[in-house]
Amino acid sequence: MTASGNRSQTNKTTGAKNAAICDIAVVGAGMAGMAAALRLQDEADAPLSILLLEACDAVGGRMKTREIGGVPCDTGAHWFHGGHENPLFRWMTQRYPQLETAFDDVSRQFSVEKGQVHGPAFRSGNLEMMDAAYTAFKKENPGKDTSLADIARRTGDGGALETAAFFARCWMAEDDAEKVSADEFFGCPYSVGGGVVKGGVSRLIDAMKEELEARGARILTGCAISSIEQDASKVTLADAQGGIYEAAHAIVALPLGVLKAGKVRFAPALSRGTQEYIDATSIACFTKIVIPVDAGFFAAQNIAPDTHIDILDEKTFCHCHTGGAPFITLMAGGRDARAVEKMDEKDLQAFIAKSLDAVPPLSGWRDALRGTPVVTGWNNAPETLGAYTAVKISGKRRDAQREGRIILCGEAFAGEKDEAEGASMTVGAWFSGRRAADMTMAERMREAA
């Protein structure tokens, strides 16, 4: 596969009705599902027959790279928070040393408010005040949570409230800072900055896919599972085209939105506690708008590669000249994310203009346009129905859950979170897939004893 993410379709399901039988079926071939399958291969004493079933036409879930104007661009998740502090990033560089990586230290960052450009200290100053207020709150109220807005009020600074509103929308994908968990916001264990894969994150997905297949795993794409039934000896899965698959055990690594929408029928039904947790967990809506511009635009505007811009009035932010590529990537969260994905070309251009026109250093961007903007589309796509999970204030994230012969992966079973670390990050998906694999192997050992 190329860096553009044009993955091979040779394993696409044809809807055959004869049953495919395997030891373990993995439903969902995003980061969680692929990490689970690799972990199963690593930990098994004897070869396992593993079948990955993916609804989309390609593996990778919300980690995708495509070519825009001949240049690879990550249109999905691509940022490994903390770089080498991040266990997934370390695992990736050790396991696949052929991948080239880089580190963005976020030193090239500024904020824009009411047409005024502020340096990095503007953002960091408000965040430091809020961090101090959060630390004091936790000392006074051990074990308790509160809203991000409450933490901002505790600083006694109006700028902190504006910062909270901005980060609620742009980081937590929530329209109201009163609904954002302070524990969730301040819970990231990694320092500022992040690692990236040169040429696009699909290079990692390709490497994982190639290893899985080389070691005997079978991957079917275009295979949307619609029902999962189990009895005392097996799990039977059916897809929308009439395909039937049987496995001794199954790992489910589907997005929360798919589970909340009831796209998959479980028989017997999921336990009451599991279903209530799915129903109670929120979906965070977030999308990227990739705007291709002339290759010389950033040099003319004196904008360095990997420049971060917070657009406070519009509650959007953008990443410019990512890895030296000729793109402005505008990020929208909350209701904006849902709306953007449904906009026609005229309304989308108006939305883009409202944000970029507010940034003096990007003046002239219209004349520099070199193609049609590309929108990620996570929130309305039937295979995802959202960007990531978000727990409510005082909510507790849960680890993988066992439902008979099925292990449901990670936070809200979408693979987005392991209880250890990495809330709503790719590393959380990796953690939860591995944990689900470990639980599956433990169950197999128990049965064999």
For residues 184 and 148, give the distance between their C-alpha atoms in angstroms, rounded to a whole number.
9
pLDDT computed for residue 11 by the predictor: 57
Question: Could you tell me if residue 55 is inside a domain?
Answer: yes
For residues 432 and 200, give the distance between their C-alpha atoms in angstroms, rounded to a whole number.
23
* Judgement on whether residues 182 and 207 belong to the same structural domain of the protein: no
* Judgement on whether residues 247 and 223 belong to the same structural domain of the protein: yes
For residues 373 and 292, give the distance between their C-alpha atoms in angstroms, rounded to a whole number.
7
pLDDT computed for residue 188 by the predictor: 77
Q: Give the range among 50-64, 155-169, 383-397 with minimum mean pLDDT.
A: 383-397
Average pLDDT, the chain: 87
* Judgement on whether residues 147 and 209 belong to the same structural domain of the protein: no
For residues 267 and 236, give the distance between their C-alpha atoms in angstroms, rounded to a whole number.
10
Band (pLDDT 50/70/90 cuts) for residue 1 is very low
Question: Could you tell me if residue 157 is inside a domain?
Answer: yes
* Judgement on whether residues 118 and 177 belong to the same structural domain of the protein: yes
- The CATH number for 240's domain is 3.50.50.60
Q: Is the pLDDT of residue 5 over 60?
A: no
Neighbours of 38 (CB within 10 A): 22
Name the residue with higher pLDDT: 188 or 368.
368
* Judgement on whether residues 29 and 176 belong to the same structural domain of the protein: no
Q: What is the pLDDT of residues 392-423, one digit of tens each?
A: 676 666 667 788 888 886 543 434 443 445 55
pLDDT computed for residue 340 by the predictor: 94
* Judgement on whether residues 117 and 251 belong to the same structural domain of the protein: no
For residues 153 and 130, give the distance between their C-alpha atoms in angstroms, rounded to a whole number.
9
List the one residue out of 370, 372, 199, 374 whose CA is nearest residue 297: 370
* Judgement on whether residues 270 and 412 belong to the same structural domain of the protein: yes
Question: Are 4 and 67 a contacting pair, CB within 8 Å?
Answer: yes
Domain residues for 176? Answer: 109-186
Over pLDDT 90: what percentage of the chain?
56
* Judgement on whether residues 273 and 410 belong to the same structural domain of the protein: yes
For residues 438 and 251, give the distance between their C-alpha atoms in angstroms, rounded to a whole number.
11
Q: Is the pLDDT of residue 14 over 50?
A: no
**pTM score:** 0.90
For range 129-135, the mean pLDDT: 95
Provide the number of structural domains found in the chain. 2
Phi, psi values for residue 200, rounded to 5°: 110, 145
For range 357-379, the mean pLDDT: 93
Question: Could you tell me if residue 57 is inside a domain?
Answer: yes
Q: What is the pLDDT of residues 65-124, one digit of tens each?
A: 999 989 999 988 888 988 888 999 999 999 999 999 998 887 888 888 888 898 888 888
List the one residue out of 425, 405, 380, 423 whose CA is nearest residue 27: 405
Question: Could you tell me if residue 148 is inside a domain?
Answer: yes
Over pLDDT 70: what percentage of the chain?
90
pLDDT computed for residue 418 by the predictor: 39
Neighbours of 187 (CB within 10 A): 13
Q: Is the pLDDT of residue 2 over 80?
A: no
* Residues 163, 168, 170, 171, CA torsion sign: positive
Rounded to the nearest 10 degrees, what angle do helices 120-140 and 158-170 cross at?
A: 90
Question: Are 329 and 365 a contacting pair, CB within 8 Å?
Answer: no
For residues 408 and 437, give the distance between their C-alpha atoms in angstroms, rounded to a whole number.
10
* Residues 303, 308, 310, 314, CA torsion sign: positive
Three-class DSSP labels, 145-166? CCEHHHHHHHCCCHHHHHHHHH
For residues 418 and 154, give the distance between their C-alpha atoms in angstroms, rounded to a whole number.
30
pLDDT computed for residue 3 by the predictor: 35
Of 146, 161, 186, which marks where a domain is finished?
186
Q: Give the range among 5-14, 124-133, 243-252 with minimum mean pLDDT.
A: 5-14
* Residues 323, 369, 295, 202, CA torsion sign: positive
Question: Could you tell me if residue 287 is inside a domain?
Answer: no
* Residues 183, 187, 193, 199, CA torsion sign: negative
Q: What is the pLDDT of residues 299-356, one digit of tens each?
A: 999 999 999 999 988 999 999 988 889 999 999 988 899 899 999 999 999 999 999 9
Q: What angle do CA 90, 94, 99 make, to 5 degrees?
A: 95
Quote the tokens at residue 420. 């250890």
Of 158, 186, 214, which marks where a domain is finished?
186
Name the residue with higher pLDDT: 188 or 241.
241
Q: What is the pLDDT of residues 416-445, one digit of tens each?
A: 443 445 556 788 889 889 989 999 999 999
Q: Is the pLDDT of residue 35 over 80?
A: yes
For residues 245 and 424, give the distance between their C-alpha atoms in angstroms, rounded to a whole number.
30
Question: Which residues have C-beta within 8 Å of that of residue 145, sequence separation ≥ 6?
Answer: 181, 182, 183, 393, 394, 395
Q: Is the pLDDT of residue 145 over 70?
A: yes
Question: Could you tell me if residue 326 is inside a domain?
Answer: no
Question: Could you tell me if residue 438 is inside a domain?
Answer: yes
* Judgement on whether residues 273 and 217 belong to the same structural domain of the protein: yes
- Cα-based distances in Å from 276 to 273, 281, 282, 436: 5, 9, 12, 20
pLDDT computed for residue 425 by the predictor: 78
Written as one letter, the residue type at 15 is G
For residues 204 and 74, give the distance between their C-alpha atoms in angstroms, rounded to a whole number.
12
* Judgement on whether residues 181 and 204 belong to the same structural domain of the protein: no
Neighbours of 141 (CB within 10 A): 10
DSSP secondary structure code for residue 143 in this structure? T
* Judgement on whether residues 124 and 146 belong to the same structural domain of the protein: yes
* Judgement on whether residues 272 and 407 belong to the same structural domain of the protein: yes
Of 128, 154, 186, which marks where a domain is finished?
186
Q: Is the pLDDT of residue 132 over 70?
A: yes
DSSP secondary structure code for residue 18 in this structure? S
Question: Could you tell me if residue 239 is inside a domain?
Answer: yes
pLDDT computed for residue 421 by the predictor: 54
Q: Give the range among 195-204, 363-372, 385-394 with minimum mean pLDDT.
A: 385-394
